[in-house]
Amino acid sequence: MLSTDLFRVPCPTCGSQMRFSPEKQQLSCDHCGNTQAIPFTKNKLEERPLHGYQVENQQLPNAPMEEKRVFECPNCGARTTVNADLPTITCAFCGTKNVNPEAKNTRLIEPAGVLPFRISREQAIERFKSWVGDDLLAPSDLKAGARPDNFRGIYIPFWTFDAQAYSNWQGEAGFYYNVTIQVPDGKGGTMNQQEQRVRWEPRSGSHSSFYDDILIMASKQLAGQEGTVAEASSYNLTDVVDYDPRFLLGWDAEVYSIDLSDSARRAESTIRAREENACASELGGNVQRGLRVSTQLSNQTFKHILLPLWICAYVYNGKAYQFLVNGQTGRIAGERPKSAWKIALLVIGFILLVLFFYAISKK
């Protein structure tokens, strides 16, 4: 069981609170510049069996648990861990500033691993400057007029799932072929014409595959931005290391709000959909019908991990736009305004091009 004391690491030189530095990949003191190494180990990074846990009611007696101080934002409801007894806490999701919040002790499934931040705030801002003006349909003054605001680095909770899938399938594969038929020629006679038909063949088979690290986000706060999160979440999970609360020093960390049971069902749906696509590929043919797939899953395991993300916003012409920066790779995904006149010119150009080729075809 972990206590909040683990989140206090005083600098051995000046006594100030140390934090994890993405640039130095170790603890760093902002006051005197002293650094302290953290071991990047993978000794405890193991999958835990999903089978046998009482997933439906979230009773997981064999799962490692920890006790943390959790802050719940009164404005948007986001729940994050509190790194220290700070006089104020700013919500990473809605930006609300809260004075002396009452944190409560909450028992949670302990993360198995963490992917430490590699992209600093300064690097995230530089990525933003390159990204915001890299859209041909964006307003010409977007790069100069966009004012970044509220850059917040936060560890987002994820579940990963592994499973061995075995599927039996059956269906019909259709293959195109042509036959010559007689049709009226419009002059009282007939003419030959090729007609496409389909030859159907019943087929069956089996498919098996091991699915490793199916990644499921466990944040309800970002659930409405799943497309953006998926675009930004191109993490290299081989860099995940053993969970150590010192990696969280100086950073916010959200508590999972989508539990293991719901996430496990989403992972199973993802695996079954991939199995159906794989079986459809094995069925073959130009067209298909009646594909039926029966999938059995075994050796199901899970991990709880924390992944780094910059949740950011910028203001352009008085309107706020959100975007995300991957805290490991720097990949950006988010909203960019479009220029109405650039879109209009594109549409007019396309119409003129169509009319040009139509005129040529009539000559």
Determine the Cα–Cα distance for residues 50 and 18; give it in Å rounded to an integer: 37
User: Does 5 score more than 50 pLDDT?
Assistant: no
Q: Which residues pair with 80 in a beta bridge?
A: 71, 254
% residues pLDDT > 90 (the chain): 42
| Residue 197 vs residue 222, higher pLDDT | 197
pLDDT tens for 317-329 read 777 778 899 999 9
What is the pLDDT confidence band of residue 131, given thresholds at 50, 70 and 90?
A: confident
pTM of the model: 0.79
Determine the Cα–Cα distance for residues 57 and 59; give it in Å rounded to an integer: 6
pLDDT tens for 149-164 read 778 899 999 999 999 9
Q: Which residues pair with 59 in a beta bridge?
A: 54
User: Does 233 score more than 60 pLDDT?
Assistant: yes
The first and second tokens of residue 93, run together, are 């999701």
List the one residue out of 51, 73, 159, 38 whose CA is nearest residue 109.
159
* Mean pLDDT computed over every residue of the chain: 83
Phi, psi at 180, each rounded to 5°: -95, 125
User: Does 106 score more than 60 pLDDT?
Assistant: yes
What is the pLDDT confidence band of residue 342, given thresholds at 50, 70 and 90?
A: low
What is the pLDDT confidence band of residue 141, given thresholds at 50, 70 and 90?
A: low
User: Does 205 score more than 70 pLDDT?
Assistant: yes
Where are the domains positioned within the chain?
4-172+202-348
User: Does 45 score more than 80 pLDDT?
Assistant: yes
Q: Average pLDDT for residues 25-48, to the nearest whole number?
A: 91
Q: Average pLDDT for residues 290-308, to the nearest whole number?
A: 95
Q: Average pLDDT for residues 254-282, to the nearest whole number?
A: 94
What is the pLDDT confidence band of residue 94, given thresholds at 50, 70 and 90?
A: confident
Q: Average pLDDT for residues 33-41, to the nearest whole number?
A: 93
pLDDT of residue 61: 44
% residues pLDDT > 70 (the chain): 80
